[in-house]
Structure 1
Amino acid sequence: MPGSKTRVSTFEKGEPVRQRILDAAERLLRSGEAEFSMRDLAAEAGVSFATPFNQFGSKAGIMHALSARRIETMAERYAAVTPPVDATGRVRLAIEVAVAVMLDEPDVNRAVMGSIATAGPARADALTRSTAFWTLAVGASEGEAAPNRQRWRDLPIQLALAFRGALSFWSAGELPDAELAPAALATANTLMLGFAKQ
């Protein structure tokens, strides 16, 4: 059963409470408990029943925080590689990175994506975070002329919306793992072609 008393002793002293709660939520999701209760989560994290509510407000708030973790991981992995000079190549690389993050733990990530459509007590910032990630990819390089950079400034939010759409079909089981990257690339190619023709 999740949250055995022995688990509490495995936490490092000083580990931030929010981190402990998110780590515990991921462990529950990994064990196939997508419908975990806040009581299960508190026990798994070794905190009081009220602590997850105090830190995140609701289970939806926790799932939004887990989504933010995924986007941060995408940005970290993207920043760790040398991107192509052209915007199209950078966007394609960002898609490969984003898909790889989602496929690292597909069951966990399907559960996270499937639940972030639920509103939490606080305004979610998934669109802002996702747009920031796609801005890394679209961001101007030294080799691009200023007019091209200006023309593509609205592309990141469109890519965020498109990738989220692909993820919704994937998390619902309508898009198999092997088709996530090709679907996301096809959508991005269409968007970039549209922006290039402007």
Structure 2
Amino acid sequence: MPSAKIDPPSPGPTTRERVLQAAERLLGRGRAEFSMRELAAEAGVSFATPFNLFGAKGAILHALSAQRIETMHARFASDTPPGDAAARVLAAVGIAAAVMLDSPAVNRAVMAALGAPSGESGGVWALSRALWAEALGDGEGLAPRMTALARITLPDQLALTFRGALSFWTAGEIVDQDLAARAKAAAAALLLGFVEEQARDQLEAMLRELAGG
């Protein structure tokens, strides 16, 4: 009889992934002030390994943040919603909020650590900007005279706006269940200046609902 085919084992995480996973576990246990020695022990690597891979703790936190944005990109790409640019942006906001709420304790800790002065720059803004540029696409449904300006300026402004919502969420001033609605309303307020007149009603209704009026 022919022997049964045995699938090769799946490759395990790389050393870099093990270090990032260890950082997530420490953050999830409330150890935002973990040392690089603690991180190395948690990851099961030598003390020098995190330094060799990342250089400093700040770079590890930036890498964790970049992972979140990459997940947002992947989810948006795999389930791009129908509709115009405004609808896609609002859907992307919902996806981004859901990613942050997958592990709220860890992600709050990442956001809090990134908000502290460190001298590290991990390119998070550029990654975030790319997500919103992808959501805007060619600007379908935007006022024709505003489309070019929107494609130049809105990705930056949406990145700033979503980061602002996350900052209030990190501080506990926005609760988990309100994060998506608050972030969508902020994006809707930005979009109001760029959509065609007939598209304004839905955005205005969203803002009125959040305001309770």
Name the counterpart of 1:179: 178
Distance 1:186 1:14 in 2: 41
Q: What is the CA–CA distance in structure 1 between the aligned matches of 2:141 and 2:115, rounded to whole Å?
A: 39
Instruction: State the Cα distance separating 1:175 from its structure 2 match.
Output: 1.1
Whether the aligned pair in 2 keeps the contact of 1:58 and 1:121 (CA below 8 Å) is no
Query: Are the structure 2 counterparts of residues 159 and 174 from structure 1 closer, same or farther at C-alpha, using a change threshold of 3 Å?
Result: same
- Structure showing greater Rg: 2
Instruction: Give aligned-pair identity as a percent.
Output: 56
Secondary structure of the 2:192 match is helix
1:58 and 2:61 are equivalent in the alignment: no
Matches within 5 A, 1:90-109: 90-109=88-107
**What does the per-residue CA deviation read over 1:32-89, in whole Å, with 9 as the maximum and x for residues that have no partner?**
3222211110011111112112211221111110000000000101111132230110
- Three-state SS of the structure 2 residue aligned to 1:53 is helix
Structure 2 partner of 1:161: 160
Using structure 1 for the length normalisation, give the TM-score: 0.85
SS at match of 1:48: coil
* 8 Å contact kept, 1:60–1:118: no
The answer to which of 43-52 and 30-39 deviates more is 30-39
Gaps of 5+ in 2: 1-9, 197-213
Stretches of 4+ aligned residues off by more than 4 angstroms: 119-122, 141-148
Does structure 2 retain, via aligned residues, the 8 Å contact 1:73–1:101? Answer: yes
Native 8 Å contact 1:90 1:138 kept in 2: yes
CA separation in 2, counterparts of 1:161 and 1:36? 28
Task: State which drifts further: 68-77 or 25-34.
Answer: 25-34
**Pairwise mapping of residues 79-118 of structure 1 onto structure 2 (< 5 A)?**
79-118=77-116
What is the aligned partner in structure 2 of residue 18 from structure 1?
Answer: 16
In structure 1, C-alpha distance between the alignment counterparts of 2:81 and 2:75, rounded to whole Å: 11
Q: 1:146: how far off?
A: 6.9
Change (3 A) 1:145 1:159: closer
Q: State which drifts further: 152-161 or 52-61.
A: 52-61
**Structure 2 counterpart of 1:111, one-letter code:** A
Distance between the aligned counterparts of 1:61 and 1:195, measured in 2?
Answer: 36
